[in-house]
A = this chain, B = another copy of it.
Amino acid sequence: MELKRPLILISNDDGYLAKGINELIDYLRPLGEIVVVAPDSARSGSGCAITVTQPVHYDLVRKDVGLSIYKCSGTPTDCVKLSLFTILNGRKPDIIVSGINHGDNSATNVHNSGTMGVVIEGCLNDIPSVGFSICSHNPDVDFIHTKPFIFKIVDEILKKGLPMQTCLNVNFPNDEIKGIKVCTQARGYWTQEWESCPRKGDENYFWLTGTFIDADSNDEKTDRWALHHNYAAITPIQIDLTGYKFMNELNSWFK
């Protein structure tokens, strides 16, 4: 009897050539058959964007035993949607894994994260999904200390699944990892977000940049606290955004 290996769909927002996704592929090959469908170039900050104004194209880049790699002209979310519909041809992945992102996606930044765009799209399709990010934008950052944690988390998900409408956002510190903390999404905000870059006398050009300010940096339950104290931060993310607590009061506005 042949044991069917788990089908693992991998994507990211840094593009299929990024070091992070290639390390992730290496780490996860022992766990199953891997199909990679990732953007053809960097798509940082894509959030859950989809492409509606032009066609999306994909291409096979590499085919090996238990590993296929495709690049795609769309957003991270497009990659998931397109692979489910075309490349996987109706086969449902046992898990969708995103990353490893160069740069953390902790706190409220999950909203703008293409890494988490992959994960949320997987979750919307009732597929257990997890995203991994590291607190470094260095394209050649050393990921090796994250390997046992990624292996453990993906292995647990493959064994136990995840609750409906819930996915995972995992962020790693850039050096020594003391352990894993299950966290809440920290609050915070960006300041000094734009840098002027005038062009031919036109002062209205700006680069997005900025500094993230923690709003509750002493709260030991948050992902930001965990990262600042060298823990891997795992935050369960729900795709039902309904603000249930406000429904009664809101109802009273229209009585």
Contacts and interface: CB of A to CB of B under 8 A. Distances in A.
Interface string A227-255: 00000001111111111111101110110
A124 B111 CA distance: 10
B55 A45 contact: no
Interface string A156-170: 100010110110100
B55 A250 contact: no
A206 to B, nearest CB: 6
Interface in A42-67: 42, 44-53, 55-59
Contacts of A166: 243, 245-246
B182 A81 contact: no
A197 B236 contact: no
- Give chain A's interface residue range (CB within 8 Å of chain B): 35 or more
Contacts of A249: 163
A22 interface: no
Interface in A124-159: 124-126, 152, 156
A36 interface: no
A45 B56 contact: no
Contacts of A184: 240, 242, 244, 247
Contacts of A42: 53
19 contacts: A44-B52, A46-B49, A47-B49, A49-B75, A50-B112, A51-B208, A57-B202, A57-B205, A59-B204, A77-B112, A85-B206, A156-B253, A160-B253, A163-B245, A179-B254, A180-B254, A182-B254, A236-B246, A237-B242
Interface of A: 42, 44-53, 55-59, 75, 77-78, 81-82, 85-86, 108, 110-112, 114, 117, 120, 124-126, 152, 156, 160, 162-163, 165-166, 168, 179-180, 182, 184-185, 187, 189-190, 193-194, 197, 199, 202, 204-208, 234-247, 249-251, 253-254
